[in-house]
Amino acid sequence: MRAGDRFAAGATDAQVAAEFRVSRMSANRWHRAFDAGGGEALLSKGPGGEKCKLTQAQLAGCRGRWTRGRPRTGGARINAGPWPGSRSWSGTCSGCPTP
């Protein structure tokens, strides 16, 4: 809403872009949305992306794998795929429902 206040006060796209450290294209997009729908048009619509397609059972399986951490191979180097540095599950993933 602060960007909307700046547009209402007559700020240009370039001024808003510099103040909020975004591209002029983003500021112009915000300005067009503000002109079309006022301050309500600038409110967040939530996270983007697709909804999680995993079932609750599949999510539980993922949590179990993340909790156990990287598989132990007895010293042999194998390509086991990407594993994070952390061995704990945060309980959230982008776009997925929280259990």
Query: Tens digit of pLDDT for each residue in 37-96?
Result: 988 888 888 877 888 888 888 888 777 766 666 666 665 555 555 555 544 445 555 555
Provide the pLDDT for residue 51.
82
DSSP string, the chain: -HHHHHHHTT--HHHHHHHHT--HHHHHHHHHHHHHHGGGGGS-----SPPP---HHHHHHHHHHHHH-SPP-TT---------S--S--S--TTPPP-
* CA 66 distance to own-chain centroid: 20
Instruction: Kindly report whether the global pTM for this prediction surpasses the value 0.75.
Output: no
**Cα 22 from Cα 14, distance rounded (Å):** 9
Provide the pLDDT for residue 45.
82
**pLDDT band at residue 6 under the 50/70/90 scheme:** very high
Tens-place pLDDT, residues 64-78: 766 666 666 665 555
**Cα 80 from Cα 74, distance rounded (Å):** 13
Nearest to 94 by CA among 42, 43, 44, 53: 53
